[in-house]
Amino acid sequence: MFLITPRGPARARSTGKPPFVCGVQPTRHRGGRAGSRVTSQAPGCDRDTADTGGRRKPGESMTTATEIQIDDVAALMAADYDDVSADVRRAVLDAILERGDDPDSDLVESLPVTVRAWDDGSSEETEVDHGDDYEDAARDLWDGADYGDGDYCVDVRWTATDAAGKEVDSGSFELTHQTEEPDCPEADEHDWTSEHEGGCAENPGVWSTGGTSMLFIARCKHCGMKRQEHTTGSQRNPGECDTTTYSEPDPEWVRHYGD
């Protein structure tokens, strides 16, 4: 008899019949052909929840039994996992993990890998085949993420966990966006200058803001718009990025300092 059971043995009923959780029982197939199947008869076993879709969380205790065909048992013993449904493979893997045994690596790799990606505010996950590009899957989860206007640099971290609960890969990537330069209302393009923006004579408009960060200020000679570029340098903190801001045009500045 082959068994796939929740942890712990079943006790004999008062009827004297030997109880079982999953056992091989005779059945009759279409056309009258005799055969066998493995079927759940555990007290309290909910047939409606036996089908998990192959998505039981790694390490989660089995609470129901899964019906399998005797052909599945033969395929499992021969390690022909592609011939067995994901439900059955997941149930067998869970039973092995419940016992504290090491599962066959081919069995684990036949089941999906869970890729989870997150930033400081949200988390998303998906399932992919073992051996797929996990970072690409993580990036796809964040495709179309909207962090609003302006400059930003968001660190997104990700992990890939196999069906046995083992982390098989991890990494991170950045999502960045830079503010587009506004059009010059007075000319085809801006003509930027740092003159008259303070700083030292050798480097007008350049300011140190601490550590490796710097501030660069410039004005458009045509419209007087101010551009402020803040760079973080090599001592950038996670999630910190270079930023650029633009003011409204300033005709008064042009009258005083423009060409």
- Same domain assignment for residues 97 and 121: no
User: Is residue 248 in a domain?
Assistant: yes
Nearest residue to 65 (alpha-carbon basis) of 83, 39, 96, 89: 39
Minimum mean pLDDT range among 151-155, 192-196, 251-255: 151-155
Amino acid 258: pLDDT: 67
The helix (run of H) or strand (run of E) holding residue 111 is none
pLDDT tens digits, one per residue of 87-116: 889 989 998 999 899 999 999 999 999 999
Bridge partners, residue 217, by sequence? 228
**Residue-number span of the structural domain to which 221 is assigned:** 192-257
- CA–CA distance, 200 with 204 (Å, rounded to integer): 5
Residue 17 lies in a domain: no
Asked whether residue 184 is assigned to any structural domain, the reply reads no
In a domain, 2, yes or no: no
Query: Are 147 and 176 contacting, i.e. CB atoms less than 8 angstroms apart?
Result: no
CA torsion angle 203 205 209 210 (round to 10): 0
- Is 14 contained in some domain? no
Phi-psi region of 144 (alpha: psi -120 to 50; beta: other; left: phi over 0): left
Indicate the number of domains in the chain.
3
The mean per-residue pLDDT over the stretch 248-258 comes to: 86
Choice between 62 and 188, residue whose per-residue pLDDT is larger: 188
Of the candidates 243, 256, 251, the one whose C-alpha atom is nearest the C-alpha of residue 184 is 251
Same domain assignment for residues 68 and 56 = yes
Strand ordering across the sheet containing 152-161: 123-128, 113-118, 152-161, 167-177
Assigned domain for 93 exists: yes
The model carries a pTM of: 0.57
CB-based contacts of 5, cutoff 8 Å, min separation 6: 21, 22, 42, 62, 65, 95
**pLDDT computed for residue 103 by the predictor:** 93
Report how far residue 124's alpha carbon sits from residue 140's, in angstroms, rounded to the nearest whole number. Answer: 10
Quickly state the pLDDT bin for 30 (edges 50, 70, 90).
Answer: very low
Contacts of 202 (CB under 8 A, 6+ apart): none
Residues 209 and 238 reside in one and the same domain: yes
